[in-house]
Structure 1
Amino acid sequence: MEPLVKRENFDGWTQLTLNRPDKLNSLTVGVFAELRAHVEALATDTTIGCVVLRGAGKCFSAGHDLGDIAEGEKVPSRGWHSETLRMLEMLPQPVVAAVHGHCYTGALEVALACDFIIASDDARFGDTHAKWALTPIWGMSQRLPRRVGAATAKRLMFTADMIDATEAVRIGLAEYAVPRADFEREIESLAKRIVANSPFSHRANKRLLEATDGGLLDAGLNWEVEHSEGVGPDMHARIAAFTNRRK
């Protein structure tokens, strides 16, 4: 039986793929359970320097499986989905959402729990909670305004409008977009560029950003000085390699 979330390891990075292509990778409790298991394993895996989350087939994900909602899905505990996405967000490695095709509502909440989003030029984003008389419980009301600003978040949430990759980049939802034909190459290139840098710095920087997000500038500057983790164990080797190349 095919996994609902497939893990593939490459040279220093991992790709997690939402794997229900026949259902447009719609999100069920089973999908979240497998995603959570992978996240738990990655949290202590020091061989992995970057995580890419994407979808199989035609799209990233069409969102929360409405059939599951209608049938009254059984979750292990209150807030379990949100807790799972917070675990994803708190991974020590950089986590990139690579979005092509549909990325709606619950799927957008999953993508927003990643450090940033890159998009294929065929990507479409939207929050349709209001269309179905639902309210978010996976993090939309908190992460979307932090990413795009309160007014833009309200516009997207109130209208349930779909936006394309160009608009997603314009408002800061996605970092950049590439043609669909180049998407696979860009995912690999981006992951390699990330893992080429110090995993110590990545982990330390994520902790600094997390601790000071949304706070006052002076408090954040003080936090950075007081809680800087200094230099990593790979610093001397990296500097030596650079200076040796110049000789």
Structure 2
Amino acid sequence: MTKYTFSWLLLGMLLLFTACSGNQTQRSEAQAVVDAALEAHGSPKLNKSVVTFKLRDIQYRALRDNGAYVYSRTFTDSTGQRIHDVLSNSGFKRTVDDVEAKLPEEKAQAYSNSVNAVIYFALLPYFLNDAAVQKSYLGEVQVKGEPYHKVKVTFAQEGGGEGFQDQYIYWFHKDRHTMDYLAYDFQENGGGSRFREVSNVQEVGGIRFQDYHNYKAADKDFPIENYDRAFEAGKLEKVSEINLDEVQVRELE
């Protein structure tokens, strides 16, 4: 090996080490921000709990017991039938007027994803330390004159669920440690993205629950990391409100 070859090899190893160190620092900073947010939101109390709430006249229930979970939703459809969906570690089941329905796999997966998504967003930031979550710190920014930590979340394919390709950006207040904004993209129904702003907060059982104003950009391929700037510039369209009603929490023994 010549002196020059060795020098290039040494330089390459140094650059690789620097890149790895930088990535590790990003992950560590993001982890610290998320851990602080979980405490600020009272999320550890969800480890052994039953949470119930209504969203758009549909009743939801989320039972969690240290990794075991049972999520359900109950509503009456347009024909007057009582629909009860249950998603758990064991899978998904739908009953119609108390009779189990046989569903095509595609429909069962769609209903399962729908139940899971509502619970996921309702309990955020609770799930941000799941094993499949990959966090990176994007730095400090200002939104409406307030200081925020900006964190990006992606998912490993293993354990990341059906939407493992989705990406999220979270804005955590630097001082209060609250999750005040989030943006995400999705692949379903042709794809797109959304930006959510907290509109109302209620604390129940020591846990912070949040309502949101839901926005979108004109371009469905809009980069979600730029949503904060577009929001401040007034370039987003409000498409809906997400309000949790009748929230109740019961701690499991």
Task: Give the TM-score category using the shorter length.
Answer: under 0.3
More helix by share: 1
Normalised to the residue count of structure 2, the TM-score between the two structures is: 0.27
Normalised to the residue count of structure 1, the TM-score between the two structures is: 0.27
In our comparison, the structure showing a higher alpha carbon Rg is 2
More strand by share: 2
